[in-house]
């Protein structure tokens, strides 16, 4: 029985880390990237993934709510994240442009 309890605690920890990674990934993506990828808004995914993370922290793995949170996290990781990553710049927030960007766009060396 201890082996099963140890396995379940490791599985629960893995689920918490997985949902935390998805929440962090959703937080660093640009808000306009969600609209460009034709997905729900960034606040929608932040709320859903935040609830999934909190539920995974509070409830045991074999209850009903963490399974719903796992499904939401999987949907984000399999559907939304690849769509955001396929956008130019990977859909990540950027404070500034590239080092070769001029005031009117990228500088290509006069070519």
Alpha-carbon distances of 107 from 87, 91, 94, 99, rounded to whole Å:
21, 21, 18, 9
pLDDT of residue 16: 94
Asked whether the beta carbons of 40 and 70 are under 8 A apart, the reply is: no
Query: Per-residue pLDDT tens for 20-50?
Result: 999 999 999 988 889 888 889 999 999 999 9
Query: Per-residue pLDDT tens for 54-79?
Result: 999 999 888 889 999 999 999 999 99
* pLDDT band per the 50, 70, 90 thresholds, residue 93: low
Which has the closest alpha carbon to 14: 2, 3, 22?
22
Give mean pLDDT, residues 92-96.
57
pLDDT of residue 103: 59
């Amino acid at each position: 029985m201890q082996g099963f309890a140890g396995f379940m605690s490791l599985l629960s920890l893995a689920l918490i880390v997985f949902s935390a990674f998805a929440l962090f990934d959703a937080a660093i993506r640009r808000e306009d990237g969600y609209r460009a990828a034709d997905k729900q808004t960034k606040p929608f995914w932040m709320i859903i993934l935040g609830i999934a993370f909190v539920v995974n922290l509070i409830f045991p793995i074999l209850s009903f709510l963490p399974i719903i949170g796992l499904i939401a996290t999987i949907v984000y990781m399999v559907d939304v994240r690849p769509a955001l990553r396929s956008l130019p710049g990977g859909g990540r927030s950027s404070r500034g442009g590239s080092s070769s960007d001029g005031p009117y766009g990228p500088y290509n060396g006069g070519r």
